[in-house]
Chain A
Amino acid sequence: MFCQVIDHLGDIGVCLRLARSLQALGDWDLHIFCNQADKARLLIDPQVDRVDWHAWPTDEAYLQHVPEVILCAFGCDLPLGVRRQLELQRKNPALPKTLWIHLDYLSAEPWVEDFHGLSSYKPDGLIQQFYFPGFGEKTGGLPGDPPSLLPSNQAQTSALRVFAYVYKHAPLMTWLHALNLPIDLLTTEDLANHWQTARPTTCVTTTSCEQHDEVGQARIQFKTLAQIQFKTLAPCTQIAWDHTMLSCELLFVRGEDSWVQAMRSGIPWLWQPYPQELATMRAKLQSLLNIMSEQLRKYPHWPLWRDAQLAWGLGEEPDLKDFTNLCLELGSWQAMARAWAAYCNRLPRLDQGLCHMIDKHRSALNAYNVRLC
């Protein structure tokens, strides 16, 4: 796998999770080449993740062995040296051919079904398979994996336990203050600092303290801002990150990895897509909400979740009264989130779809080798 980190650790998160689930499905000798391999090591749990992480190869470097499968996460380009190796391999009929996969972003848009699985013919004669994750039967399936530890949905304190991993421009404080509830906010250090700096007049900072979370894996710091108690997560493994999410009652997530795990968790969530042109984000959100509506329209509070998601995702002026009502009806929101999670966890899976594509490639190669013999 080749992974180019663009903005944060979510790219690594997707690759790490995919590698873990591929290894659970078969006997793989998996290597991940990453431009921030040192950061990746922070997310790895050595007891669970048995993947070799390597620094991004220079353009002059060649791989020791050309692998059976190369997967370019989020459509990243291959280093030039590796690309040259593939060209040499193509010109030699005696060499087995590598399956070269372009793994694209998850999208709920209908066009994904038409694009998934198509071959891309390169000017140098190489062929790359385009793989599009998605929600439909004809897509490459949903990334992530169903959580092994299901949320209890039992309030551990009187405060609402909120998890936030969002882009900095998200107006989270406005939304949370509108609730007028005591809130425990679990978030990353940079986000906590950002919000505390942005709202200094209402910041009532207590002496911070530190303790371990319920599963004893993530280190958490405490600070308070009005009714919001910030609990800052120190860098932790992906497994600990997942456990922390699952211990919360409301999830504000972004990007792909945390979003997919939120959807699979059965915990109420709101997703912030990567900032793009407004029309692009609207199309992506609307497509997702159309699929969700099919599953959730029977729930009386679905319109509140739908409208809150649209406003949150687009950064539009929300109807905070409706959002407050939605949070006050947390049991109903949980029921919808569980129904959506059950749907997501029944969908075809990305890891299984990839294995199927690879199995087909291996069968074709075997047939080719038999003909050569």
Chain B
Amino acid sequence: MKIAQEIRTGNVIMMGKDPMVVLRAEYNKSGRNAAVVKMKLKNLLNNSGTETVFKADEKMEVLVLEKKEVTYSYFADPMYVFMDAEYNQFEVEADSMGDALNYLDDAMPCEVIFYNGRAISVELPTGLVREVEYTEPAVRGDTSGKVMKPARVKPTGFEVQVPAFVEIGDKIEIDTRTGEYRNRVK
């Protein structure tokens, strides 16, 4: 069992008798240290989609599924193709990629998850380093790190909130679970 806030994109949870793959999980704090998680789910038996919400501390059954280390190879519309060390190829539907699309890069290492022999989603490392493609210059005087600004990262153009001191060309580490900036990498 896991609690809702520990559920990540690519996990498969049981909802009644249906296995549901998590396509997206969005965590927000409500009041008095309580939090809620909204999930976009796809039913692995009939492919129907749904959106649902949980209290962050609600327990749920997570299926332990087969995973395989792979690298991203290419996009063959509408499938994303990954390859393992033995050159086996696995296809994942675009709809099942979730937030992984924000970070996808050539030869990016990740894990493909299988349910009944079918590749159903992709799990990323919790932290990834990406180069800042564009961000506004910092305003002089604020170096506290409290003031944030948007930054576009390579190669997808995904936008991340970064501290004011981050500049174009900097490499930053992003928490792929939350999409948040972690730190600048030298």
**Chain A residues engaging chain B, CB cutoff 8 angstroms:** 6-7, 74-75, 102, 104-107, 109, 111, 114-115, 118-123, 125, 130, 132, 256, 274, 276-277, 280, 283
Contacts and interface: CB of A to CB of B under 8 A. Distances in A.
A109 B28 contact: yes
Given A109-B28, A121-B15, A125-B16, A75 B34 contact: yes
B38 interface: yes
B49 to A, nearest CB: 13
22 contacts: A74-B32, A74-B34, A75-B55, A104-B31, A104-B34, A104-B36, A106-B31, A107-B30, A107-B31, A109-B28, A111-B26, A114-B26, A115-B53, A118-B51, A121-B50, A122-B58, A130-B36, A256-B31, A276-B29, A277-B29, A280-B29, A283-B29
A105 B53 contact: no
A289 B15 CA distance: 39
A105 B34 contact: yes
B30 A75 contact: yes
Contacts of B26: 111, 114
Contacts, number: 66
A49 B105 CA distance: 62
Interface string B133-162: 000000000000000000000000000000
B47 interface: no
Contacts of B36: 75, 104, 115, 130
A49 to B, nearest CB: 25
Given A115-B53, A118-B38, A123 B15 contact: yes
Interface in B13-42: 14-16, 26, 28-34, 36, 38
Contact of B31 (A105, A121, A122): A105
A74 B31 CA distance: 8
B60 interface: yes
Given A115-B53, A120-B52, A120-B54, A104 B16 contact: no
B6 interface: no
B153 to A, nearest CB: 21
A22 B55 CA distance: 26
Given A123-B16, A125-B16, A130 B29 contact: no
A74 to B, nearest CB: 7
Contact of B38 (A7, A75, A109, A115): A115
B61 interface: yes
B16 A130 contact: no
